[in-house]
Structure 1
């Protein structure tokens, strides 16, 4: 394990714990001595990582520290590139532009060797997914989720039945055949899934909905049994 890889692994371990982790536990997990661990912690602190603690007490990484791009591994760079390319090809124009801009920023700050790997990445994203065109503004939908706004929609189901609803949107899933909005439906008083191409009218409702978006997503996962790593 190279030193840069070891430092990244140390950060990842600390980021996964909210409480102080004993030095011996960290050293054993990385397969290094306590003396090497102390040197690594000092090196990360010198780079701006807010690692607090001392021998015999344990160490904790305070929230807010951003990993410098040079800490990305080659595999992580490829994952980022592929993800950005998928976003650029499969979302609304505003988010697609943001993905391309983010990719440019990553490229600008990478070391030369990783920049070359990114440019030569063999992982490409295909064209537009085979899904019907949306009549609604996906940008407005994303903004509503970010701000926890209620929405009024006119929806037509797979049998052609139309209904007007007030919903609390909390997530948007992208599939090859469709984009699906996850929301709490006040008409049904339950969670419902809406294909975005069947939403004929979408308007901002009155104010914010009374429950946090993250809480709705958590309750949806518990009810449907969908693991967090899958959605």
Structure 2
């Protein structure tokens, strides 16, 4: 890796991390020595890149630091294409269209020499074998999640038993053939995961649940850890 590329990659690693990154962590990801990391970070600081921290405690990048957002590597472009292809084939219609638009915008914005990595990527997404039929307006659910509003749904479980719930939608999880709606259920007073293809009638209530989404996410992650042993990233 060229030194200029390595310096750029250090900034990228710090930018994506929410916690201080140690020199050892940087060295392992970049496959260089810790001494090289110390020297590179010192050079970045000398160039007025706002990195805080020191050897032994870790480094953080000031959040207001800005770089041209489309200085992408070939791997980053192919990762973006792979993700957008997956969403285009498996997302709800609004999200699928947004994924296709994203690829078009990135293609138009990047330099000419990088466009083959989008037009002829080395990665691809297979067409899903099947998909569950659903009547729920998932795009509207995503809007309700952002606005912190409640839903009233009629849900059919695995035994085909039907129940009416008022829920606080939190997150939509996408799998190959189904979608899961993570929500706080007022009936059960607990988090529940609802398959969207088993949701019948849905009423989009104007009422807000008045709980910050970040708080709900923290509680859900704690629930997943304690009840299912699943450690989710911060």
TM-score calculated relative to the size of structure 1: 0.80
Unaligned runs of 5+ in 1: none
Q: Report the CA distance between 1:20 and its aligned residue.
A: 11
Secondary structure in 2 matching 1:96: helix
1:166 and 1:205 in contact (8 A); partners too:
no
**Is 1:227–2:231 an aligned residue pair?**
yes
Match of 2:139 in 1: 139
Q: Which moved more, 1:103-112 or 1:9-18?
A: 9-18
Match of 1:176 in 2: 176
TM-score calculated relative to the size of structure 2: 0.79
Match of 1:196 in 2: 196
Among 36, 56, 63, the residue aligned to 1:31: 36
Secondary structure in 2 matching 1:170: strand
Secondary structure in 1 matching 2:163: strand
Aligned-partner Cα distance in 2 for 1:54–1:167: 43
Task: List aligned pairs for 1:1-231, cutoff 5 A.
Answer: 1-15=1-15, 16=17, 29=34, 31=36, 34=39, 37-41=41-45, 45=48, 51=50, 61-128=61-128, 130-225=130-225, 226-229=230-233
Aligned-partner Cα distance in 2 for 1:94–1:124: 21
Unaligned runs of 5+ in 2: none
Number of aligned residue pairs: give it: 221
Q: Report the CA distance between 1:189 and its aligned residue.
A: 0.6
Q: Report the CA distance between 1:172 and its aligned residue.
A: 0.9
Aligned-partner Cα distance in 2 for 1:29–1:12: 18
Aligned-partner Cα distance in 1 for 2:35–2:112: 28
Secondary structure in 2 matching 1:31: helix
2:52 and 2:62 in contact (8 A); partners too:
no
Q: Which moved more, 1:1-10 or 1:85-94?
A: 1-10
Q: Report the CA distance between 1:77 and its aligned residue.
A: 1.3
Q: Report the CA distance between 1:109 and its aligned residue.
A: 2.0
Secondary structure in 1 matching 2:115: helix
Which digits, 9 at most, give the CA deviation of each residue in 1:104-144, with x for residues without a partner?
Answer: 12112222332122211032223346231111101111111
Q: Which moved more, 1:160-169 or 1:2-11?
A: 2-11
